[in-house]
Chain A
Amino acid sequence: MELEQILAKQFGYTAFRPGQKEVIEAILEGKDVIALLPTGMGKSLCYQLPGYILHKPVLIVSPLLSLMQDQVEELKRFGEKRVVALNSFLTVSEKRYVLHFLEQFRFIFTSPEMLLQQQVQDKLSQMQLGLIVVDEAHCISQWGFDFRPDYLRIGQWFSQANRPPVLALSATATNKVVNDIRDTLSLDSPFEFLYNVDRSNIHLGRVVFEDREDKVHWIIQHIKETAGPGILYMSSRKRAEQYSEVLIQAGIRAAAYHAGFGAEDRQFIQQQFIDGELDWIVATNAFGMGINKSDIRQVIHETMPANVENYMQEIGRAGRDGHPALAILLYCDDDVELAKFVVTGDLPTSGHVDRYQELLNQQIQPSQMLKNGELSETAFRVLDYWLQQETMEQVKVRLNHLALEKYRAVNEMQKITQTKDCIRKQLVGYFGQELLKKPENCCENCGINYDEINKARLKEEKKIEMIPWKSRLKQLLMGF
C-alpha cells in the first residue's frame, strides 16, 4: 500500500506535512534518523505510521510522563488498541501483565527510568523491535535546556549490534545538541531532517522598558485594545496568578495556568481556551505542551525566556493556522538578572553536593533532600546521577560549568533581544540555518506595524455566566 493510503486509512489525513514523508521513508529503508520538527507539525506521525508497516513493535522513549499520556490517548483516539505506557504509574500486577504480553503491543511508550530496570531490559532484549524512537531527544544533551541524566545511562543500550533503526525527535536543537544526540545514541550516519525553523507568519515585535513595573500598564492597555486569542508568558507561577487577576479585573476573559494546578483544572483551562470562552492564558512555560489550538494570534513574553530554544517553542504556538500572528517580547535591563536567577535556581549547588555526602555518611538516603524540599526534582536527578559517576570535586566543577552554560544561554537570548539587526535572521541563524526571505512586517528592527497584524478587540466578548444546576445538568447530558 502507498504511504498516502495508510495515512488516509489509519489517521484520516489526506496529505503529509513537510518532512513527514522523507523521515518515514528513511525509517522504512532501515536508516537511523534525526528529525527536528517543530511542535504541532506532526512529529508523532513519523513513528505512528511506520508502526502499521513494520509488523514489529515500536518502542518510544519519552521523558515526560504527561506527554507520554497525551500520545497514548492520541493513538487511542485513532482507534489503536495495541498501545501501552510502561511507566511508574503501573501497579506491580499491571506491570507484570504488560511485560508478559509486551511483544503483542504495536506501540510501547516508556521512560528512560524504566529502560534502566533490569527486567525491562531483559524482556526487550528477547524481543524484536521494529523501531526505537527517542522523543524530546534534546534532553540527551547536557547542552540542551532540559538535560535528563537518565538518557545518558541508556546510551549504552543503543550501542548494541543489530538494534533496529533509531529515530531521534526534537522540536528544537542547535548543532551542538544534534552532535550530542548522534554520539550518545551511537547513530550510524543518520539521515537528518531539519525543518526550516523560520515561521514567516509570526511577526516578531519587541518593546523596551525602563522599569519592570511599566510593563504592567502596557500589557493591560495592549490586551484591552487588541484581539486574542493569546498567551502571556510569565517567569513564575505567582506572577502568572497576579497578572491574571489584574486582567480579569480589567474585564478580560483570562485565566492563569501553571503546573501547580490540578490535572482537571488544567484541562478545564485548555478546554475553555480552545472553546473560545477565554481569550488570554497567563502561563508559565508549563503551558503549551500538547495544546492543540491553531488560531492563537498573539504570544507575549512579559520577560525574557531563559534561552532561545524556549523562546522559539513558545512563540511557535501562535499562528499554526498559517494566518498572521504576533509575538511580542517585552524587555528591560533587569530581565537578564532575573532570567539568570531563575535558570540557576533549578540547579544543584556545591552546598547540595556536600549535603548529599553528609547524608550518605549518616547512612540516610540522599533522596531525603528531595522529600525535605531542599531542591527540585530535576536538580536532584542531576546531582544523583553525577555523584554516582564522579568525585565530589569533579561534580562541583561540573555543576559550575552547567551554571555557566545556562548563563551563556541567557546571554544568547539577550543578544537576540538587543540586536539592532533583523531579529528573524538572528533567530534562524542561532539554529544554524539561513534566512531566505523576509516577510512584510518582519520584526521590530526591520520595521513592523502591530496594527496591520492585530485586529482590534471586539467589545462584545461576554463573560460566561453560571446557569442554574438543573439547566447545566441537562445541557451536559442532553445537549440542550
Chain B
Amino acid sequence: MFLQSFILILKMFILHFNINTIKLEEFASMFHQILLQIFQKLNNERSISAAYHVLRGKRSGQTIQDIGLFQLHNYFGLLPKLPRATFDEAVSLFSQDSWLIIQESGHYSMKKLGLQRAEQTPDFLFDGWHYRGNEHIFFARLSLIVQSLSYQSAGIRSFSPISRDTNIQSWVRTFLFEHNYQDGHLQQQLLEECESVLSELSLSEANKQLVLYRLSGYGLPGWTWQQLASERKEAVLDCQLAFIELLHVLLNEVHQTTDYPLLGNIAEELRVKALLTDSAQQTAYLYEQGYSLEQIMQIRKLKQSTIEDHLVELAMYEPNFSIGPFVSYKEAEKVWQASKQYQTKKLKTLHEVVEGMSYFQLKLVLAKGEV
C-alpha cells in the first residue's frame, strides 16, 4: 500500500517535472520568440491573424501595408506553409501563460509578462522581405550541385537527383557546364567559397552544421528534419527557421561583395528587386504614365479601394513617390502629431481625431512616414 502510493507520488512528480521542462522548451522555441516579436511590433493594433499573414507572406494590400507600418520586413513570408493550427496552438499557449489577452474581436493585447519575454528574445537576422522563400530555390540549386560534384569526385556518373524539379535540374546542368565541371576543379573552388562565406557569418557553429546536414552526396545522405531536431533537442519548426535564417544571412553576404563568384551565380536573381505585388506594379506603371486614379480604375477594371491600396503600397516602398497630389503637407503634419500624441497607428482612432481626412489619405500619410 505504502509503496504503491509512493510510486504514485513519484509518477505525479515526474509528470509535474515534465510539464515544467516543456514550458522551458516553449520559451526557448525560436518560433515562439519570433511570434512574440511580431506581436510586440504590431503594438496591439491588429488582430491575431495579422501576424499569421505576415509569416505566411500573404500578398494582400493590408498585409503589405502592415509590413511597412510596423517594420515587419524581416518576418515576411518566413513560413509560407505554416498551418493555421500550429499558429493557433502557439497563440493559445501565450494566452494560457498570460503573455497576452485575446479579445473576442480577434484583437489582442500584450501583457507585462509577454512584453518582458519579448524584450528577452534575441535579435534574429532574417530577411524575409528580400527573399520570400527564394532561399529554398538557392538551396535546391546548391544541393544538386554539391550532389553532382560529390558523385563526380567518387567517379560515379549516375545517381538519383535530390531535386526532382526540372527547372532546378536544367539550371544546375547549365551551371555545371558553364563552370567546366569536367575539369574537376569546381569542387575545390566551391569548397573555398563555402568555407570562407560560412566562416564570415556571425552565426553559431551548430547552425552551420545544420545546413551542411541538409546537403547530401555520395555515401553521405542528408539528415531529415526529424533527425536533426532530435539531435539538437528542439522542434522541427525551429530547425527549419534556423536554417532559413542562415540562408538569408548567407545570401545577403553573397550579394554584398564580389568575393563569391560561384555562390553569387547560384543566388542569381533570387533577391527580390520589385518590392511590390504584381498588380500594384501595373498600377504603378500607369500612374507613372500620368493616368489619374479614376482613369486607372477604368483601364484596369478594378475598384477604387484596390487602386488606392496600390498607391499606398507605392508610397511605402517607392522613395520617389509623392503623396502631394492627394494630401497637403499641413494635413500630413496633423496626422503625425495625432499619431504621436495618442501613441497609435490605428486608422479608426486617427480618423476620429483628425477631422476631414479620408482613410485613404490617412494610409498614405502613415505609409510615407514622417518627413
Contact = CB atoms under 8 A, between A and B. Distances in A.
Contact of A268 (B146, B161, B218, B222): B222
Interface in A433-480: 466, 468-470, 472-479
Nearest to B187: A477
A475 B195 CA distance: 13
Contacts of A479: 150, 153-154, 218
A108 interface: no
Interface stretch (A158-166, A255-263, A321-329): A255-263
B213 interface: yes
Interface stretch (B121-129, B204-212, B291-299, B340-348): B204-212
Contact of A264 (B188, B190, B214, B218): B214
Interface string B209-240: 10111111111111111110011000000000
B188 A272 contact: no
B237 to A, nearest CB: 13
A393 to B, nearest CB: 37
Given A255-B224, A264-B214, A477 B150 contact: yes
Given A268-B216, A475-B220, A478-B191, A469 B150 contact: no
Of A268, A271, A476, A479, the most chain B CB neighbours within 10 A belong to A476
Contact of A265 (B161, B219, B224): B224
Nearest to B218: A479
Nearest to A85: B166
A469 B204 CA distance: 11
Interface in A222-279: 248, 255-256, 261-265, 267-269, 271-272, 275, 277
B198 interface: yes
Nearest to A269: B224
Given A271-B221, A469-B209, A478 B188 contact: yes
A275 B150 CA distance: 15
A69 interface: yes
A472 B216 contact: no
Interface in A58-90: 69, 73, 77, 89
A478 B205 contact: no
B167 to A, nearest CB: 9
A277 B221 contact: yes
A267 B213 contact: no
B180 to A, nearest CB: 16
Contact of A477 (B160, B190, B219, B226): B190
Contacts of B160: 73, 77, 267
Contacts of B223: 268, 466
Contacts of B209: 466, 468-469, 472
Contacts of B161: 73
A271 B205 CA distance: 26
B350 to A, nearest CB: 38
B220 A476 contact: yes
A77 B157 CA distance: 8
Nearest to A479: B153
B164 interface: yes
Contact of A468 (B205, B211, B220, B231): B205
A469 B205 contact: yes
A477 B153 contact: yes
B149 interface: yes
A261 B224 contact: yes
B79 to A, nearest CB: 14
B194 interface: yes
B225 A476 contact: no
B69 interface: no
Contact of A256 (B194, B219, B221, B226): B226
A473 B214 contact: no
A477 B149 contact: yes
B348 to A, nearest CB: 33
B158 interface: yes
Contacts of B230: 248
Interface string B136-180: 000000010010011001100011111010100000000000000
Of A77, A468, A472, the most chain B CB neighbours within 10 A belong to A472
Contacts of B214: 264
Nearest to B153: A479
A436 to B, nearest CB: 38
Contacts of A73: 160-161, 164
B224 A469 contact: no
A269 B162 CA distance: 12
Nearest to B230: A248
A248 B229 CA distance: 14
A77 B150 CA distance: 17
Nearest to A78: B158
A473 B153 contact: no
Contact of A469 (B153, B191, B208, B225): B208
A475 B217 contact: yes
Nearest to A257: B224
Contacts of A474: 191
A267 B162 contact: yes
A219 B166 CA distance: 42
Contacts of A261: 224, 226
Contacts of B166: 89, 94
Contacts of A477: 146, 149-150, 153, 187-188, 190-191, 194, 217
A298 to B, nearest CB: 21
Nearest to A263: B164
A198 to B, nearest CB: 31
Interface string B29-66: 00000000000000000000000000000000000000
A272 B221 contact: yes
Nearest to B219: A275
A469 B209 CA distance: 4
B153 A478 contact: yes
A47 to B, nearest CB: 20
A478 B187 contact: yes
Contacts of A248: 230
A473 B222 contact: no
A109 to B, nearest CB: 13
A468 B159 CA distance: 26
Contacts of A469: 198, 205, 208-209, 211-212
A261 B222 CA distance: 14
Interface string A102-145: 00000000000000000000000000000000000000000000
Contacts of B143: 264
Interface of B: 143, 146, 149-150, 153-154, 158-162, 164, 166, 187-188, 190-191, 194-195, 198, 205, 208-209, 211-227, 230-231
Q: Which 9 A-B pairs have the closest CB atoms?
A: A271-B221, A77-B158, A265-B224, A479-B153, A469-B208, A476-B217, A472-B212, A469-B209, A268-B222
20 contacts: A73-B160, A77-B160, A89-B166, A248-B230, A255-B227, A256-B226, A264-B162, A265-B226, A267-B162, A466-B209, A468-B205, A469-B208, A469-B209, A472-B209, A473-B198, A475-B217, A476-B220, A478-B153, A479-B150, A479-B154
Given A265-B224, A275-B219, 10 more contacts: A77-B158, A255-B226, A264-B214, A268-B223, A271-B216, A466-B213, A469-B198, A469-B205, A472-B213, A473-B194
